[in-house]
Structures are given as C-alpha cells and as structure tokens.
Amino acid sequence: MSVSQSSQTMEHQLYFDVIRERRSVRSYDPEIKISREELIETLRQATMAPSAANLQPWRFLVIDSPELKQKLLPIAFNQQQVVEASAVIVVLGDLENIGMAEKIYSQAVDAGFMPEDTAKSMVERYTGMYSSMPEEAIRQKVYTDGGLVSMQLMLVARAKGYDTVPMAGYDKQKLMEVFRISERYVPIMLIAIGKAAKPGHPTVRLAVDDVAFFNEMPKE
C-alpha cells in the first residue's frame, strides 16, 4: 500500500468513528461553552451539504444566551438538554430562498466555476420554475435540504468532539411567536449542541435486508 493510500484509509477510519460515535445525547455539561467562532466554523462545514439546485435554503437561528434557552425550555416540552447544552440551533427552511439564486450563481462565476451566461440562464430557469411551483413543493424541498444539512452539522460537531441531539419535540407555533420567526421560514428541527455529561443510550438499527431492496421492491 502506498503512503497516500494508507493515509487515505486512516482518514476514512476516522470518518467511520465519527459516524459510530454520534449518538443523541440528552444530558450536557452546562459549564461548557462553545465559542461563537467554533459554532460558525461548524455551521460553515455543515453547509457544505448538497441542496436542490445548490440553492441552500437552510437558515439557522443559534440560541446560546442562557435567558433565551430558558425561554425555549417550555416550548421544547421541558427537554432539559435545551438549557444544559451550550447552544440550541433552530434549523429553518426559507420558503423565499429563490431570491438568493442570483447571489449564489454570481459567486460561482466569480470563483471561476461557471461562465457568466450559464449562470444567468440557470438563475432565469430556476426563478421561472419556482414562481410556478406550489408552496407545498417548495416546502418539501426545504425539508429535504434541511435534513441533509442537519445530519452534516451533527457529524461535524462529533468530529470536533461535541455531542448533539436532533429534536422535533417542540411547539412550532410557539417557537415562531416567541422568537419572532416570520411565516416565510419553516422550522425543520432543533439541534442541541454541547459536551455530553452522560453518554447517549446505545440504539439499534434494522438490518439492511429490512430496509434495502435491489432492483425491485418486495411483494406486499
């Protein structure tokens, strides 16, 4: 095995460790603060996730103030991790995200990844598509992309030595009201992030045979 092959294998091994070690952690050391810089870097890496047409409809409301975490506690049905964790990230999807198409595609032009006329025609095409798309279809897209970025965020956090738990157990309406989130944003999930005080419970998974089928679906 060449040197570069073996170092590649090692990197892959670390990645598999990260996947194996990520668990939903529900008890955090309240003394641990993650710096804004580190939260920003975690989000930057998370946003390397793929998204439909690279439109990146995810938005993040990062709640790291103790007072605001207390406000969030009853909204998240008193799940203690909300106040113990260093921060809670509200993952949102922007239903009006198509407005960013021009910015994204001109960035690709500036980076030398795309000729200007290609970028222009793609922006026109997507803008046209989105303007005639039912809101439900846009909602589906932001949920899908929001799920991908959330997963990546949790893995990046673990790779940095932090723990997370995704949460759907919260009152969406109250969250929107209390944190003054406008209707253009869809709440996708909350993610608590911090350092575990207690490890997450081990969990099981269905066998691949139960969930994957080759070439045809099983007879019902």
Ligand X SMILES: Cc1cc2nc3c(=O)[nH]c(=O)nc-3n(C[C@H](O)[C@H](O)[C@H](O)COP(=O)(O)O)c2cc1C
Residues that bind ligand X (CB under 6 A): 23-24, 26, 79, 165-169, 189, 200, 203
To the nearest whole angstrom, how small is the minimum distance from the Cβ of residue 12 to ligand X?
21
What tokens were used for 165?
């738990």
The whole-angstrom separation of Cα 144 and Cα 52 is: 9
Smaller CB separation from ligand X, 25 or 104: 25
Q: Rounded to 10 degrees, what is the CA torsion of 128, 91, 179, 101? A: -20
To the nearest whole angstrom, how small is the minimum distance from the Cβ of residue 35 to ligand X?
25
Using only the alpha carbons of the chain, give its radius of gyration.
Answer: 20
To the nearest whole angstrom, how small is the minimum distance from the Cβ of residue 8 to ligand X?
27
Smaller CB separation from ligand X, 26 or 69: 26
Smaller CB separation from ligand X, 24 or 45: 24
To the nearest whole angstrom, how small is the minimum distance from the Cβ of residue 189 to ligand X?
5
Helix (H) or strand (E) holding 190: strand 185-194
Smaller CB separation from ligand X, 79 or 97: 79
The secondary structure of 26-79 as a DSSP string is -EE-TT----HHHHHHHHHHHTTS--GGG---EEEEEE--HHHHHHHHHHTTT-
Smaller CB separation from ligand X, 24 or 54: 24
For residue 159, what are the CA distances in angstroms to 9, 68, 90, 173, 183?
17, 27, 20, 33, 34
Instruction: Report the residue number whose CB is nearest to ligand X.
Output: 169
Q: What does DSSP say about strands 185-194 and 87-94: parallel, antiparallel, or unpaired? A: antiparallel
To the nearest whole angstrom, how small is the minimum distance from the Cβ of residue 66 to ligand X?
21
Smaller CB separation from ligand X, 4 or 203: 203
The whole-angstrom separation of Cα 12 and Cα 130 is: 38
To the nearest whole angstrom, how small is the minimum distance from the Cβ of residue 170 to ligand X?
7
What tokens were used for 154?
């949790």
